[in-house]
Structure 1
Amino acid sequence: MTHDTIRHVRLSTATLPLATPISDAKVFTGRQRPMTEVVFLFAEIRTAEGHEGIGFSYSKRAGGPAQYAHAKEVGELLLGEDPSDIGRINTKLLWAGASVGRSGVATQALAAIDVALWDLKAKRAGLPLAKLLGAHRDSVRTYNTSGGFLQASIEEIKDRATRSLSDGIGGIKIKVGLPDSAEDLRRVTAIREHLGDDVPLMVDANQQWDRATALRMGRRLEEFGLVWIEEPLDAYDAEGHAALAAALDTPIATGEMLASVAEHERLIATRACDVIQPDAPRVGGITQFLKLATLADHAGLDLAPHFAMEIHLHLAAAYPREPWVEHFDWLDPLFNERLETRDGRMVVPDRPGLGVTLSDQARAWTTDSVEFGAA
């Protein structure tokens, strides 16, 4: 038996401009500036037999150049490897950059490569990634976040929510965490009244409450029948989240800001959430995400991966418990394909791999690239 080998690797970084500056609670508390762009790291891998895979990672506000720099340092080590040996390759690259650790920028840089290898593996099998992993369903409940940011007025959020629901999206998430909690409650009240009681509604405080405020607000929010309250506390306050989850009927969701499986293990061990929200590009790719998903399922947690629906749709479809996937239209210009939503769910595409290819616009937004091996 002959084994295919990796012959060519292309790494590139591209900057996606946002049509409108985006603000969540971190802006209103003075900790961040409005977000105007997202920086992407793309990995494109080709084998000697002509198979190709694409993966990506991303950074908001800062860190994109660092991800790209680290990927460039280790990218050449992929040449000559059997692309099927994803776990071994992942370990090899982790050790190549051991001095910068196994979290944060280091693992986020490797995530783009790891995702590309899984995309390639599924394409070689002629299967959508969800099917390669072992899908439990062909579509996943989906909710929209991109219309509910704090720079938008209540009327704007209502209009966007209505459009989302008409486009086949099943739930609506809005941002909270303003310095004036009364305004948060006013916005939630208005959106719940607009949607009615039957539409799933989530809120996200983006880590801006202290423990006392989170408990007080959590109790006030119970009446709205929310699917969850997201990131009420600092992402690393596992004990605070656990106490809140025990005190409230409304489920607690968190995890998107954690950058390794080890950090999520603490959430799981302390029962710090009811809904865990890992982000594959942030934790190191699909290989690491699958480890985390096994732990989460064993603990009986629900799953709602953060952002990057092009990747997370497949991973959510392979989770044993009925999950949610987050719908963002921000990334649409980067890819030639669109994901379908209908009847409140996002449909797993029947195209092999992730089912996406880079658009000409993504190429135009590329600011730098490097290649290893024979093209």
Structure 2
Amino acid sequence: MSDLRIDRVETVLLDIPLRRPHRFARVGMEAQPVLYVFVRTAGGVTGVGEGVVPGGPWWGGESVETMQLIVERYVAPVLVGRRVDDIHALLRDVTDVVGANLFAKAAVEVALHDAWARCLDVPVHTLLGGLARTSIPVTWALGIESATVVIEEALGKLDAGLHHSFKLKMGAQDPAADVARICAVAEKLSGVAGVRVDINARWDRLTSLTHLPTLAEAGVEMIEQPVPGTEIETLAEINAALPIPVMADETLRTPSDALRVARLRAADILAVKTTKCGGLRASMEIAAIGAAAGIPTHGATSIESPVGTAASLHFACAAPGVTWGSELFGPLLMAEEMLVEPLHYADGELHLPEGPGLGIELDPDKIRAFRRD
């Protein structure tokens, strides 16, 4: 085993173009900004992690620019000279210097796991306890476009055998019009594909209780985060009122949040993003809390490139509680392949790559092509 001492931490910002514009309730994007964090050991082994947020700082307060500053100025000095396998102590000491900033910490934590696993010549999922599965179903996310546009895209994915369930964004339009749009999509896809919606925390209690029952009657199978993340009691009330599952996303970032959700039965599904939760280990803890409470976990996305997607896939395949599929479609939305060997999507699922660490290799030409000056 090579020398495990960390001798260098480097970052690079990229803007990766998308195949089509992707819109959330509040913002849209035509390219995804990404931060790559590289942790190199004295033995010459390099691990990589990804810092990325869904569409910018509107979601959790961080951006790739803030992440880069935090990692370079405050986190890197804590790491250099320490052993890459001393992850618990490293993260404890990082937290003494940097509060919150879970997206930035996730990028570093994943890079540490990738480097350590490569030093051991084992995959990252081995460090997480081994495999519960080797692939995960992938739901395709659709934007806030008209029903006609959304239906056309969904049917194209179905005809190609790429995806069997779809999640639509809501919250940017008048609620009644938005509901009518979703009902039209659900009617068209009834019996052939699952339809889910994400309101991105844009509605209030009364709007949710007024309009969400109509979506359930139309055949929508899941509602994600209708109200702001801090309104956990309201989320619990909505969850109790609906005959279909509610999924917690903005409400859920830490294991402590997961415990509150479980105690209040505020959601029937936990949306776990390794990015928003601070990395792989916290994600595993959240999934375990959910499993103990009888609440399944869903492998959610921040629209990661293949690096963050591979990290989330290792988590999803190692955590027994991840039984409600995933949205790990990020690389499919990107117009350029960032890896030497692409991740393997087939039959509506994403399959775990083989090899040490994350099992991936970034294409250096693509990094140069999309790197910011």
Q: TM-score, normalization: structure 1? A: 0.86
**Closer/same/farther in 2, CA of residues 13 and 185 from structure 1, 3 Å limit:** same
- Indicate yes or no: 2:140 matched with 1:144: yes
CA distance in 2, matches of 1:227, 1:121: 40
The 8 Å contact of residues 353 and 360 in structure 2, kept in 1 or not, is answered as no
**Closer/same/farther in 2, CA of residues 355 and 323 from structure 1, 3 Å limit:** farther
The 8 Å contact of residues 258 and 289 in structure 2, kept in 1 or not, is answered as no
Residue of structure 2 equivalent to 1:275? 269
Residue of structure 1 equivalent to 2:97? 96
Residue of structure 2 equivalent to 1:108? 103
Moved more, 264-273 or 198-207: 264-273
Runs of 5+ in structure 1 lacking a partner?
27-32, 369-375
The 8 Å contact of residues 256 and 306 in structure 1, kept in 2 or not, is answered as no
Q: Which has the higher contact order (CA 8 A, sep 6+)?
A: 1
How far does residue 175 in structure 1 lie from its aligned partner after superposition?
1.6
How far does residue 243 in structure 1 lie from its aligned partner after superposition?
0.8
Residue of structure 1 equivalent to 2:358? 354
**Closer/same/farther in 2, CA of residues 229 and 61 from structure 1, 3 Å limit:** same
Alignment of 1:17-36 (within 5 A): 17-18=17-18, 20-26=20-26, 33-36=27-30
- Specify the code of the residue in structure 1 equivalent to 2:106: A
How far does residue 365 in structure 1 lie from its aligned partner after superposition?
2.1
Q: Pick from 179, 183, 187 the counterpart of residue 185 of structure 1.
A: 179
* Secondary structure of the corresponding residue to residue 282 of structure 1: coil
Residue of structure 1 equivalent to 2:280? 286
Alignment of 1:141-290 (within 5 A): 141-145=137-141, 148-150=142-144, 152-165=145-158, 166-256=160-250, 258-290=252-284
* Secondary structure of the corresponding residue to residue 283 of structure 1: coil
CA distance in 1, matches of 2:370, 2:77: 24
- Specify the code of the residue in structure 1 equivalent to 2:372: T
Q: Pick from 111, 118, 121 the counterpart of residue 113 of structure 2.
A: 118
The 8 Å contact of residues 169 and 341 in structure 1, kept in 2 or not, is answered as no
**Closer/same/farther in 2, CA of residues 23 and 4 from structure 1, 3 Å limit:** closer
Q: Deviations over 1:247-283 (max 9, x none)?
A: 1111001224654443444323322111111221122
The 8 Å contact of residues 245 and 251 in structure 1, kept in 2 or not, is answered as yes
The 8 Å contact of residues 49 and 107 in structure 2, kept in 1 or not, is answered as yes
How far does residue 159 in structure 1 lie from its aligned partner after superposition?
2.5
CA distance in 1, matches of 2:172, 2:150: 16
Alignment of 1:306-317 (within 5 A): 306-307=300-301, 308=304, 309-317=309-317
Q: Pick from 42, 48, 65 the counterpart of residue 42 of structure 2.
A: 48
CA distance in 2, matches of 1:20, 1:163: 15
The 8 Å contact of residues 190 and 219 in structure 2, kept in 1 or not, is answered as no
How far does residue 157 in structure 1 lie from its aligned partner after superposition?
1.6
Instruction: Quote the sequence identity (%).
Output: 28
How far does residue 35 in structure 1 lie from its aligned partner after superposition?
2.9
The 8 Å contact of residues 54 and 120 in structure 1, kept in 2 or not, is answered as yes
CA distance in 1, matches of 2:18, 2:370: 12
Runs of 5+ in structure 2 lacking a partner?
58-62
How far does residue 210 in structure 1 lie from its aligned partner after superposition?
1.1
Q: Deviations over 1:46-103 (max 9, x none)?
A: 2222222110111333322111111011213212221111111111211122xxx2x2
CA distance in 2, matches of 1:255, 1:186: 24
How far does residue 131 in structure 1 lie from its aligned partner after superposition?
4.3
* Secondary structure of the corresponding residue to residue 356 of structure 1: coil
Q: CA RMSD in A?
A: 2.4
Residue of structure 2 equivalent to 1:79? 80
Alignment of 1:292-331 (within 5 A): 292-307=286-301, 308=304, 309-321=309-321, 322-326=323-327, 327-328=329-330, 329-331=332-334
Q: TM-score, normalization: structure 2? A: 0.86
Would you say how many aligned residue pairs link Structure 1 and Structure 2?
Answer: 353
**Closer/same/farther in 2, CA of residues 20 and 138 from structure 1, 3 Å limit:** closer
Q: Pick from 344, 364, 372 the counterpart of residue 367 of structure 1.
A: 372
CA distance in 1, matches of 2:252, 2:64: 17
Q: Pick from 127, 133, 137 the counterpart of residue 122 of structure 2.
A: 127
CA distance in 2, matches of 1:367, 1:157: 33
- Specify the code of the residue in structure 1 equivalent to 2:11: L
* Secondary structure of the corresponding residue to residue 87 of structure 1: helix
- Specify the code of the residue in structure 2 equivalent to 1:10: E
How far does residue 112 in structure 1 lie from its aligned partner after superposition?
0.9
